[in-house]
Amino acid sequence: MRRRVRTVAGQVFVLQVSVVLLVVVAAVVALVLQSRHDSTQEARHRSLAVAATFARSPGLVDALHGTDPTAALQGRAEAAREASGVDFVVVMSPKGIRWTHPNPEHIGRRFMGTIEPAEHGRTVVETFTGTLGPSVRAVVPVTDERGTVVGLVAAGITVERVGDVVDRQLPLVIGAAVAALALATAGTALVSRRLRRQTHGLDPGEMTRMYEHHDAVLHSVREGVLIVDGDGRLVLANDEARRLLDLPPDAEGRRVAELGLAPYSAALLVSGRATTDEVHVAGDRLLSVSHRPTDRHGGPPGSVATLRDTTELQQLSDSVDLARKRLKTLYDASVRIGTGLDVARTAEELAAYAVRRVADYVTVDLSDAVLHGEEPEERAALRRTAVCGVRDDAPLFPLGKLIDFVPTTPQGWSYDNGTAAIEPDLAAYGGWQSQDPGKAREIVAFGIHSMIAVPLRARGVVLGVASFWRSQKPDPFDDEDLSLAEELVARAAVSIDNARRYTREHTMAVTLQRSLLPRVLPQQSALDVAYRYLPAQSGVGGDWFDVIPLPGARVALVVGDVVGHGLHAAATMGRLRTAVHNFSALDMPPDELLSHLDELIARIDREDAEQEGSAKAVTGATCLYAIYDPVSRRCTMARAGHLPPALVHPDGKVEFVDLPSGPPLGLGGLPFETAEFELPEGSSLVLYTDGLVEKRDRDIDEGLELLRASLAEPDAAASAGAVGTAHSAGAAESAEPVGRDPEETCQAVLGELLPDRPGDDVALIVARTRALPAERIAQWQVASDPAEVAAMRAAVAGTLAGWGLAELAFTTGLILSELITNAIRHAAGPIRVRLLYDRTLICEVSDAGSTSPHLRYAATTDEGGRGLFLVSQYAERWGTRYTPEGKIIWAEQPLPGAKHAYA
């Protein structure tokens, strides 16, 4: 029968066609890449040339110094853009404020590209991806005759507009590729026909030589070969198979069942079952049999078997069993020892496993430093960490005892030298009793007669010593027992060291995380706050929260989540929390604060990419920032990729705040939106991270509905293992609201949504709103006349007397006199004065101006300049915050005694 050959010619055909295709693809890719590179370079040159030409155009500097640069330059910029064919020509201030733009709505906004080098007189050319696709923009500084940068000119163009080389050349390349492929196919067909003719078959001489060679090999090998056909008859048996099985001379052609083989072996040869190195007995021989059917891949029916004489293994059967038991012991040890990352537990698992398998009693002694996750100290005393045995009354040192082994004991020798020691006969008192002679006599009297001490050594460091004691078996420990004990302890030592390292890293991570999260909430009266923070089952994460008092009795609530777990996430969380505190001190609105956080995350990404040599960003975060004002009961908030907060109304109704969703922090360049709404007094604002509502087996929408139900149910069961909880320190009750307080709400929510330890970090804040009573608010409008200052001081003194704060009238009048006078002299009206009686006495003076006063030290000859210095001396804090209508200068004074607005 002729065998259908899958020829080499076919492989050659496929190979040649593949090479041609690869060459064509490489040419196309090279052309496209070169075209894109040329297009990008042309775009860079054109945008830079347009920007530089326009920046040096006559009259540009005069227009920039003019009163209305937009009116003077908008037309010129648009004319230059149309003439040059670029997408935009933008003139801006040195700080990046646009004076011209193709879209007039963008005039007055900040330029989105990189301008820092241009602010210092250098040209910037960068590639970016805009709404029109990949683009190039150039920023050129505009300087006056003194070299001072008075403005910036930016020009940009999309790469697509300057390059179409690929579109013109692709048809030519494709045509060449088709022609090359056709030529390759024709050539390969000729080669294939030639190869098929040359390799069609072998001549008789070659077949004879091949048969003789195969026959010589078959009968020369020291391995028996049997071939059985589909009818169970022996087709072929080589010389070695005849010798091993004692086959008769006429065995070939007879049925296997008639050859006198062992029934099990005969059944295997006709079964068609595949097996490898199966042991069979043939007389006094032990044979290793491998058997395979021959019809699996289109061959004839039957099977082939190979036989190897393994009689010598019978002599080693006892050693094999012993080695097998030993391997099983070590395998089971690897499964049962080191199941957790706890040092003491791993030592206990080692002791418990070794009892009855290696010894009757096992003790494990570790350095105290190891138990605490640190590197062991040199020649330190060891603490007994685990004791296990067949009886509980053995006279060994008890659990927890600190033992300083002397060098003459096996334990001391092992600990000092890092090698195992064996004491085969304890009754001989060969020096091991010097640790405690009385205890040694008790041990021998108890029946313990032999001991092995093995150091727990991992990564070149000795962590402690494991001791094995024998009492019930009369034979002493031998070298085989010592070897098994060493291997067992070596595996356990690695697990103990891993647990030690985990303990150290976990302690460091937890310490870092606790130091970064708030420990005590600050004093404030606007909100009654309770919180919970639950870490994940393993490691630390990047969830955080904060409560930040702001000027004017306002309070900021923050909750955020850094992507990932571990020290990197915790450290990034700490940086974000610090940044939020710093930005809050500047009294930024929520959307502006999130924009600054977005820039911070982008900078962290760049720093990480530079350190790791990769351009891939590794950091991301979400955040929600809310500001509550107890005077107006208005709440302003914005979010960056975070889940919306829940609002619980005083009547128990629950809704999720319809808050615009901004992008997560770190994407860069996208704006954030702010929402402002009024909160009734006694309503609760609930902020949380996704670990509360999102689980692997639960959709986030289902989690949000569970959260809504737990907040709406007034009698929900309060059960949750919380890590931290606190009311706002010192916050006294006003009118007692109906329903659960924030503390009970936290317990109910966690009890409903997190019955077990969470797989992700969970941060939860429940803040019940308060309102500053109207009788604790006083405000006046002041005319822009210095004569009004005296009347204002009198009115303020009367108000303070009515509040029982008459002793603050002098200092308050002094502070307000300076602030009102500054507003009259240096700002525009209207001027308003407001007093708030909260935890401090807050004085606010607002005007329509945008400049804020600065503290300075007046010289002895100066007639003025000391007012703000006096304000800073009498006020506990003072500062400026900006509003859409102007600014507010505020100052806080501590109240006498313990008085405050809710006392």
Token reading at 844: 């606010």
Q: Kindly state the helix (H) or strand (E) to which residue 285 belongs, with its residue range.
A: strand 285-293
Residue type, 191: V
Per-residue pLDDT reduced to its tens digit, 112-130: 888 888 888 888 888 888 7
β strands within 795-838, DSSP E = 831-837
Say which range, 151-160, 428-437, 772-781, 856-865, has the weakest mean pLDDT: 856-865
Antiparallel, parallel or unpaired: β 285-293 and 275-282:
antiparallel
**In this structure, is the dihedral angle defined by the CA atoms of residues 17, 21, 24 and 30, taken in order, positive or negative?**
negative
Give dist(CA 399, CA 121) in Å, integer: 75
Give dist(CA 136, CA 156) in Å, integer: 5
DSSP 446-495: HT--EEEEEEEEETTEEEEEEEEEE-SSSSPP-HHHHHHHHHHHHHHHHH
Average pLDDT over residues 550-567: 88
Give dist(CA 279, CA 354) in Å, integer: 33
Average pLDDT over residues 198-221: 62
> Is the pLDDT assigned to residue 503 strictly greater than 60?
yes
> Is the pLDDT assigned to residue 210 strictly greater than 80?
no
DSSP 547-604: EEE-STT-EEEEEEEEEEESHHHHHHHHHHHHHHHHHHHTT--HHHHHHHHHHHHHHH
pLDDT at 95: 87
Exposed / middle / buried, residue 153 (Cβ in 10 Å: 0-12, 13-18, 19+): buried
Give dist(CA 711, CA 577) in Å, integer: 28
Antiparallel, parallel or unpaired: β 634-640 and 661-662:
parallel
pLDDT at 320: 62
> Could you tell me which residues are beta bridge partners of residue 468?
362, 452
**What length is written for the chain?**
903
pLDDT at 758: 65
Residue type, 791: A
Q: Confirm if 827 and 880 have CB atoms less than 8 A apart.
A: no
Q: Confirm if 891 and 878 have CB atoms less than 8 A apart.
A: yes
pLDDT at 70: 86
Residue type, 763: A
pLDDT mean across residues, the chain: 82
Give dist(CA 403, CA 379) in Å, integer: 11
> Is the pLDDT assigned to residue 558 strictly greater than 90?
yes
Scan for tokens 């006294």, then name that residue. 732
Helix axes 317-336, 479-516, angle to 10 degrees: 10
Say which range, 418-432, 506-520, 678-692, 737-751, has the weakest mean pLDDT: 506-520
Token reading at 547: 């409560």
Token reading at 159: 């790469």
Look at residues 782, 785, 820, 815 and name the one whose alpha carbon lies nearest to residue 800. 815
Per-residue pLDDT reduced to its tens digit, 244-285: 888 888 888 888 888 888 888 888 888 888 888 888 888 778
All residues at 6 or more sequence positions from 116 whose CB lies less than 8 Å from its CB, including other chains: none
601-612: buried (b, 16+ CB within 10 Å) or exposed (e) per residue? bbebbeebeeee
For the beta carbon of residue 574, count every other beta carbon within 10 angstroms: 18
* pLDDT band of 859, cuts 50, 70, 90: very low
Look at residues 509, 511, 576, 508 and name the one whose alpha carbon lies nearest to residue 546. 576
Q: How far is CA 40 from the centre of its chain?
A: 36
All residues at 6 or more sequence positions from 62 whose CB lies less than 8 Å from its CB, including other chains: none
pLDDT at 460: 85
Alpha-carbon distances, residue 402 vs 322, 387, 399, 588 (angstroms): 38, 13, 9, 58
pLDDT at 560: 92
Alpha-carbon distances, residue 614 vs 77, 150, 174, 571, 609 (angstroms): 39, 37, 36, 20, 5
> Is the pLDDT assigned to residue 735 strictly greater than 50?
no
Look at residues 813, 820, 832 and name the one whose alpha carbon lies nearest to residue 785. 820
**In this structure, is the dihedral angle defined by the CA atoms of residues 165, 169, 174 and 176, taken in order, positive or negative?**
negative
pLDDT at 751: 87
> Is the pLDDT assigned to residue 176 strictly greater than 80?
no
Round to the nearest angstrom and report the end-to-end CA distance of the chain: 109
pLDDT at 13: 64
> Is the pLDDT assigned to residue 615 strictly greater than 50?
no
Report the share of the chain in percent with pLDDT over 70. 84
Per-residue pLDDT reduced to its tens digit, 682-707: 999 999 998 888 887 788 888 899 99
Look at residues 168, 177, 172, 164 and name the one whose alpha carbon lies nearest to residue 25. 177
Average pLDDT over residues 851-878: 64
DSSP 702-758: HHHHHHHHHHH-TT-------S---PPTT---SS--SS--HHHHHHHHHHHH-SS--
DSSP 768-785: EE----GGGEEEEEE-S-
Scan for tokens 């022996």, then name that residue. 234
Token reading at 307: 């036989």
Per-residue pLDDT reduced to its tens digit, 783-799: 888 888 888 989 999 99
pLDDT at 726: 37
pLDDT at 8: 52
Give dist(CA 728, CA 765) in Å, integer: 11
pLDDT at 10: 60
pLDDT at 628: 96
> Is the pLDDT assigned to residue 16 strictly greater than 80?
no
pLDDT at 738: 54
Say which range, 115-129, 214-228, 236-250, 822-836, has the weakest mean pLDDT: 214-228
- Strands in 527-534's sheet, in edge-to-edge order, are 527-534, 762-769, 684-688, 646-648, 654-656
> Could you tell me which residues are beta bridge partners of residue 152?
92, 141
Give dist(CA 301, CA 294) in Å, integer: 6
Give dist(CA 487, CA 337) in Å, integer: 13
